[in-house]
Amino acid sequence: MTSIRILVVDDHPIVRQGIRSLLSNYPEFEIVAEADNGRTALQQFSHHLPDVTLLDIRMPNESGLDVLNQIRATQPDAKVLMLTSFDDSEYVMTALRAGAQGYVLKGISDDMLVNAIRAACRGEKVLSPQVTERVVQWAIADDTAVPTPTFNFDDEERQMLRMLVHGASNPEIAEKLFMSQTTVKRKLRNIFEQLNVETRTQAAAEAVRNRLV
């Protein structure tokens, strides 16, 4: 199995230890280096060229956003996943515009973090549910948003889109809308096809961008 090589950047040793402990349970992950400040992060990134970099926002020497910009300037295809406790809209949108592969908060579950790393490595955009809320708020306030194209979603599919934006799982959608998981999967396929996306996160982002929620 090809491992996913990870650089962990956070100035709190307890956070780094927690990430090490979690990822050690998954043979597919290999932490190739750690850094507790922005300057060291850039050095370690250049030396190891990791598959995914987990990057905090506020750190000594260079902020996470500065590190992100410098990484993307030298390696445009680098997969950088912001992992932070700061959910301010300004931080979120600045990071995403700078090319972050995703933005997740430290309070997410272990399973969600593991899946976020996998998704980021595959090149998918990743947002934790709380961050998606911020993106929704920003899009609603953006008067320059692109007009909504015509989509043929039924009422249930529109409800599903709203639930996707809030990070609902298939079982949660099925329970809420009183339908089987087979029906949920069928309707999700239709949603993905109409939005021309491949993942739930992409569907949520497109729903926000096209003002479908």
Q: Determine the pLDDT at residue 142.
A: 57
pLDDT at 81 over 90: yes
* Sheet order of strands, 29-35 included: 29-35, 4-9, 52-55, 79-84, 102-105, 126-127
C-alpha distances (whole Å) from 125 to each of 1, 27, 97, 155, 177 are 24, 23, 12, 26, 27
* Contact (CB, 8 A) for 213 and 167: no
Q: Determine the pLDDT at residue 133.
A: 67
Average of per-residue pLDDT across 148-153: 76
Of 78-92, 141-155, 178-192, which range is least confident? 141-155
Q: What residues form DSSP beta bridges with 31?
A: 6
Q: Determine the pLDDT at residue 136.
A: 62
pLDDT at 172 over 80: yes
Percent of the chain, pLDDT > 90? Answer: 52
Q: Determine the pLDDT at residue 180.
A: 94
Give pLDDT tens digits for 56-69. 998 888 889 889 98
In angstroms, the CA 128 to CA 101 distance is: 12
Residue ranges of the chain that CATH labels 3.40.50.2300? 4-129
Give pLDDT tens digits for 18-28. 999 999 999 99
pLDDT at 104 over 80: yes
Average of per-residue pLDDT across 82-89: 86
Query: CATH topology for 145-209?
Result: Arc Repressor Mutant, subunit A (1.10.10)
Of 8-17, 34-43, 163-172, 202-211, which range is least confident? 202-211
C-alpha distances (whole Å) from 143 to each of 74, 139, 165 are 33, 8, 20
Give pLDDT tens digits for 120-150. 999 888 888 777 766 666 655 655 544 556 7
In angstroms, the CA 43 to CA 61 distance is: 13
The mean pLDDT of the chain is 86
pLDDT at 208 over 80: no
What is 4-129's CATH number, 3.40.50.720, 3.10.180.10, 3.40.47.10, 3.40.50.2300?
Answer: 3.40.50.2300
In angstroms, the CA 45 to CA 60 distance is: 17
Residue ranges of the chain that CATH labels 1.10.10.10? 145-209
